[in-house]
Chains A and B, each alone.
Chain A
Amino acid sequence: MTAKSLTTEMVDPVPGAAAPHLPLDGGIDTVQLLTPEGDRVEHPLYSLDISDEELRGLYRDLVMVRRWDAEATALQRQGELGIWASLLGQEAAQVGAGRALAEGDMAFPTYREHGVAWARGVDPLHVMSLFRGVDNGGWDPVATRFNLYTIVIGAQCLHATGYAMGVQRDGAEQAVLAFLGDGATSQGEVNEAMIWAASFSAPVVFFCQNNQYAISVPLERQTRVPLYQRAAGFGFPGVRVDGNDVLAVLAVTRAALQAAREGQGPTFIEAFTYRMGAHTTSDDPTRYRLADELEEWKLRDPIARLKAYLSRSGAADAQFFDAVEVEADELAARIRQGTVEMPDPAPTEMFDHVYAEQTPHLAAQREEFVAYRASFEGGEH
């Protein structure tokens, strides 16, 4: 028993640095067009004219993406993937943003944007091959207008801003959508990207999925103001949208992309959402957050609210919902089979895509590697 313990009590990693109280539901500034109960509401600034067919399409997107995510998580637990970053809970933010993109627009994802990949028409198996470790991303970023996943936190914001400045110089009528998370807002390059984007009025939209946790670090350790308010400091508009409301995300992102195409410069969108699963399959979220938080967010599920709205408005019937479920199961089966059957790449393949044209130095390394492997008992491994 020592003297110094007199007033030490609960574990407080940063003594005295307690958090400001930020509202759990995003607060009154949050743009919402569909309530968690599935009621359609209007917003003075963002309206959405959408057909029943488009609504059903969004529902299908959400269900398919969630099913894919569940299958991928299971496959990782079965040793078929090295790792998986789950999007559970963030489907609406991703599908809404992905579907807001026009054909010519360009998207720069993090490593969690499976829903955007889906909306861009990327084959899920191309994403699976990356997480299985057999390639570095198998899709064509030029054809799909969807860049390869960026693992380095926030780096894609620089790429997106640079790309947008290129679009500007080409005089093209395109917008660029940069994805980032709440944790990335603390990164230097994200802030640099925003300063450049503002200075050059680049046609880029920063789409931040605030899922409340940077791995284990809660939002209140990242910021003392709501994230969307930071945009004001950079000199462009910031808007917070209910990230679990696919309609609001679609409307807000569409408007921001259109403004970018019209030369009005960048926008920062904070999609207020929640990561229902682990950061990745290597993470255990029960170590840093309470189950009651999860229970609260379950009530704001993005799919349940759209389903409620579709049923109530008569835009879809039970037959439609059943058909989507069947289609999702088929997708899962295709993903499972395609993943486990993926051939391993030749070990020497890693030398092939480092540069567009092979360098003598790499070619020599490749030869050395081949010789080294041949030196093992039993020949080729």
Chain B
Amino acid sequence: MTQAPTLRQFKLPDVGEGLTEGEILQWLVAVGDTVTVNQPLCEVETAKAAVELPSPFAGTVVELLFDAGTMVDVGAPIITIDTGDGGTPDAAAAPEATGSGLIGETNANGRTAVLVGYGPRSTEARRRPRRAPVEPAGTTPVPPPVTDDAPPLLATAPDMRSKPVRHGGLEVGRQAEAAALSEAAAPAREAAPGRRGPRPLAKPPVRKYAKDLGVDLAAITGSGTGGCITRADVDAAIAARSVPVAPAVPATDGAARQRIPIKGVRKHTAAAMVSSAFTAPHVTEFLTVDVTRMMKLRTRLAARPEFAGVKVSPLLFVAKALLLAAQRHPMVNSSWDEAAQEIVVHGQVNLGIAAATPRGLVVPNIKDAGRLPLAELAAALGELTETARAGRTQPGDMAGGTLTITNVGVFGVDTGTPILNPGEAAILAFGAVREMPWVHKGKVKPRQVTTLALSFDHRIIDGELGSRVLADVGALLQDPASALAY
């Protein structure tokens, strides 16, 4: 018994407010599947959200009109469903009831019945009806003449084709708006090279940033939306400005190759690294830990009055954990004295922090960091890094370090194999804190995870001690409350 199929198409609706397109992430049904009303058909990602589209019809899937991964205009039919009832089509699907029977055509009143303002349109999403005096429509035969459902919004509205507008906070289409912006910005860009053109486009924070760095916005070509100058443009301008400084360096063969004299911090760093790497036999061990609790503790601590005005960073907890571990295992805070043939156990920890500065790598240290309460340690860390960044670190601040942390996580990497600060027995690298799938209480959950790496001088520290120190630091970060046991 064959019943004439009643084919209905579901058009991509505007699931946000004023969206013009969406990407079909995946289909949740296949051709031949039976679907019910509100059964999810596919997942669509728009500029605002990824959502599942529920079926407006019950029936059998006849055709999927776009592959997953395709960007689809709002209003385009995406799926054909045979509702098999042969009866009266509901309003949402009305089209085939009239005219040629082709799906996607408008119904008798000239509209697809679905829509009010935002929804599926039977033709391209961005087109507005033509004003009468305009020349005849192009030769494209496919779209029916006048199917756009939305009447012009205002009597005073400019012609939408020539000038898209925003109306009452309703976005008339991202692309339309972008076009309008770039149109508006074009004259400004042309005028920019001239001396007294219009004010260059930039957001206030960028203006301030440029002003602070002495960069003239008028001399920059913006790369942002509509020619707007971004922070990156300002940075680029500074970079371009600092290149001319390079000629002070004797560049000889070709533009690409530079010869930089080895001096200053670089020379010192090189000597120290070579000396350290080829004097102390290095061993590096790694440990990945779940620091979610530490991050929560950090939030709570930051709210306490004694931490007002200081930065409660993950580095602070790593520093504290290392200090506690050093208290438990004093040998990790020691030096090999070759001349005296002695191992010097320092007792007091002068905690070094490796800092990348404009001048290069420096390792200032906090004297007797172990005696500082947490808030003071936070303040000391803040001061140390500020000073280093400003290039004002004094030689005294860098002398006498006994144990070092290098926070490579700030560069977005997971870990490294740090080289010992010369004369010291251990250095701890702290990687980026990432949200990762992690087995927590028997289930895979998103947790905040980091990797620690401890390098140590194998002359002084055996694998057992190094492992204990690293395990202690890890345990303290994983469960900060265990510090009570120390």
Q: Which of B215-223, B252-260, B354-362, B458-466 contacts A (4 or more CB under 8 A)?
A: B354-362
Contacts of A20 in B (CB 8 A): 303
Q: A381 contacts B151, CB within 8 Å?
A: yes
Which residues of A sit under 8 angstroms from B120, Cβ to Cβ?
Answer: 79
* A74:B49 contact, CB within 8 angstroms: no
Q: Which residues of A from 275 to 308 have beta carbons under 8 Å from B? A: 278, 281-284, 286-287, 290-292
Whether, in the assembled complex, B409 has its beta carbon less than 8 Å from a beta carbon of chain A, the answer is: yes
A355 at the interface (CB under 8 A from B): no
* A31-84 CB contacts (< 8 Å) to partner B: 70-71, 74, 76-80, 82-83
Tell me, yes or no, whether B56 is within 8 Å of chain A by CB: yes
Residue A1 interfacial (CB < 8 Å): yes
Q: Which of A83, A369, A377 has the most CB of B within 10 A?
A: A377
B14, A79: Cβ atoms under 8 Å?
yes
User: Residue among A1, A15, A78, A287 with the most chain B CB within 10 A?
Assistant: A78
**Closest Cβ of chain B: how far from A380's Cβ, in Å?**
8
A365–B155 CB distance below 8 A: yes
* Contact B117 A4, beta carbon cutoff 8 Å: no
Give the residues from 132 to 158 in chain B that come closer than 8 angstroms, CB to CB, to chain A.
Answer: 132, 134, 145-146, 148-149, 151-152, 154-155
Q: Which of B167-198 contact A (CB under 8 A)?
A: none
Which among B90, B119, B303, B311 is the interface contact of A21 at CB below 8 angstroms? B303
CA distance A8 to B356 in the complex (A): 12
Tell whether, in the assembled complex, residue B311 and residue A7 are in contact, meaning their CB atoms are under 8 Å apart.
yes
| A29: chain B residues within 8 A (beta carbon) | none
Least distance between B131 CB and chain A CB atoms (Å) = 6
Q: Are B117 and A18 in touch, CB under 8 angstroms?
A: no
Contacting pair B356 A283 (CB below 8 A): no
Given known contacts A10-B295, A16-B309, is B315 in contact with A373 (CB within 8 Å)? no
Q: Is B231 part of the contact surface with A, judged by Cβ < 8 Å?
A: no
Contacts of A15 in B (CB 8 A): 311
The minimal Cβ–Cβ distance linking A347 to chain B, given in whole angstroms, is 5
A5: CB under 8 A from chain B?
yes
B114: contacting residue among A70, A79, A286, CB under 8 A: A79
Residues of B within 8 A of A5 (CB): 356, 410-411
A261 at the interface (CB under 8 A from B): no
Given contacts A3-B358, A7-B311, A20-B303, contact A77 B15 (CB under 8 A): yes
Instruction: State how many angstroms separate the Cβ of A362 from the closest Cβ of chain B.
Output: 12
Q: Which of B50, B54, B55, B303 is in CB contact (< 8 Å) with A18?
A: B303
User: In whole Å, how far is A263's beta carbon from the nearest beta carbon of chain B?
Assistant: 41
Whether B48 contacts A284 by the Cβ 8 Å rule is yes
Is the beta-carbon distance between A10 and B118 smaller than 8 angstroms?
Answer: no
B312 touches A368 (CB 8 A): no
Whether the Cβ atoms of A340 and B129 lie closer than 8 Å is: no
Give Cα A373 to B53, complex, Å.
34
Inter-subunit contact B132/A375 (CB<8 Å): yes
Please determine whether B356 and A77 come into contact, CB atoms closer than 8 angstroms: no
- Of B91, B115, B308, B355, the contact of A3 (CB 8 Å cutoff): B355
* Nearest-Cβ distance from residue A34 to partner chain B, whole angstroms: 29
Q: Which residues of chain B have C-beta atoms less than 8 A from A7's C-beta? A: 311, 313, 315, 381-382, 385, 407, 410
Q: CB-defined interface of B64-105 with A at 8 Å, one 1/0 digit per residue? A: 000000000000000000000000001110000000000000
| A83–B14 alpha-carbon span in the complex (Å) | 9
Q: For residue B103, give the distance in angstroms from its CB to the closest CB of chain A.
A: 15
A82 touches B314 (CB 8 A): no
Say yes or no: A344-B388 contact (C-beta < 8 A), given A6-B356, A77-B52, A373-B151. no
- Give chain A residues whose Cβ lies under 8 Å from the Cβ of B134: 377
Return the CB mask of B351-391 against A: 1 if under 8 Å, else 0: 00101111000000000000000000000011001001100
Across the interface, name the chain B residue whose C-beta is closest to A337: B90
Question: Of B13, B315, B353, B432, which is in contact with the most chain A CB atoms at under 10 Å from its CB?
Answer: B13
Interface flags for B301-312 (1: CB within 8 Å of A; 0: not) read 011000011011
Do A6 and B355 touch (CB < 8 A)?
A: yes
Report the separation of the CA atoms of residues A278 and B152 in the bound assembly, to the nearest whole angstrom.
31
* Contact status A283-B388, CB under 8 Å: no
Q: Let me know if A6 and B410 touch, CB within 8 A.
A: yes
Is B131 in contact with A368, judged by CB distance below 8 angstroms? no
- Bound Cα distance A132, B113 (Å): 12
- Chain B residues positioned under 8 Å from A381 (CB to CB): 110, 129, 146, 148-149, 151
Residues of A within 8 Å of B389, CB to CB, are: 3-4, 6
Which one, A74, A79, A283, A291, contacts B115 given CB within 8 A? A79
CB neighbours (8 Å) of B16 from chain A are: 281-282
Given that A82-B118, A283-B49 are contacting pairs, would A2 and B312 also be in contact in the complex, using a CB cutoff of 8 Å? Answer: no
Total contacts A-B at CB 8 Å: 170
A342 to B111, CA, bound (A): 14
Residues 6-25 (chain A) with a chain B CB within 8 angstroms: 6-10, 15-16, 18-21
Residues of A with C-beta under 8 A to B90: 337, 340
CA distance A245 to B23 in the complex (A): 40
Q: What are the residues of chain B within 8 A of A291 when measuring CB–CB?
A: 446
- Once the chains bind, are A1 and B411 in contact (CB under 8 Å)? yes
A330 to B409, CA, bound (A): 57
Chain B residues with CB under 8 Å of A133's CB are 116-118
Q: CB of B51 within 8 A of chain A? A: yes
When distances are taken between beta carbons in the complex, the residues of chain B under 8 Å from A4 are 389
A77 touches B50 (CB 8 A): no
Q: Which of B115, B309, B433 sits near A10, CB closer than 8 Å?
A: B433
The reply on A164 being an interface residue by CB < 8 A is no
The answer to whether the Cβ of B126 comes within 8 Å of any Cβ in the partner chain is no
B315 contact set on A, CB distance < 8 A:
7, 9
In the complex, A371→B156 CA distance in Å? 11
Contact A21 B300 (CB under 8 A): yes
Q: Are B355 and A340 interface neighbours, CB within 8 A? A: no
Q: Is B445 an interface residue (CB 8 A)?
A: yes
Give complex CA distance A82, B118 in Å: 6
- Residue A378 at the chain B interface, CB threshold 8 Å: yes
Name the B residues within 8 Å of A18 (CB-CB). Answer: 298-300, 302-303, 312
Cα distance A32–B136 in the bound complex, in angstroms: 70
How long is the Cα–Cα vector from A6 to B411 in the complex, in angstroms?
8
| Min CB–CB distance A309 → chain B (angstroms) | 29
A80 and B92 within 8 A (CB): yes
1/0 contact string of B380-412 vs chain A (CB within 8 Å): 011001001100000000000000000101110
A-B contact pairs, 27 of them (CB 8 A): A6-B385, A7-B311, A7-B385, A16-B311, A18-B312, A21-B303, A77-B15, A77-B52, A78-B53, A78-B55, A78-B56, A79-B118, A82-B117, A82-B118, A132-B116, A133-B116, A278-B49, A281-B15, A282-B49, A283-B49, A340-B113, A340-B114, A369-B154, A376-B152, A377-B129, A378-B129, A381-B149
Q: A1-B356, A372-B152 are in contact. List 18 more A-B contacts (CB 8 A).
A: A9-B313, A9-B314, A18-B299, A76-B15, A77-B15, A77-B51, A80-B119, A82-B17, A281-B16, A282-B17, A291-B446, A336-B37, A365-B155, A376-B131, A378-B129, A378-B145, A381-B129, A381-B148
Residues of B in contact with A (beta carbons under 8 Å apart): 10-17, 37-38, 48-56, 90-92, 110-111, 113-120, 129-132, 134, 145-146, 148-149, 151-152, 154-155, 295, 298-300, 302-303, 308-309, 311-315, 353, 355-358, 381-382, 385, 388-389, 407, 409-411, 432-433, 445-446
Which 4 pairs across A and B sit closest by C-beta, in order of nearness? Answer: A79-B13, A284-B49, A18-B302, A79-B119
The chain A residues found within 8 Å of chain B, CB to CB, are: 1-10, 15-16, 18-21, 70-71, 74, 76-80, 82-83, 132-134, 278, 281-284, 286-287, 290-292, 336-337, 340-342, 344, 347, 365, 368-369, 371-373, 375-378, 381
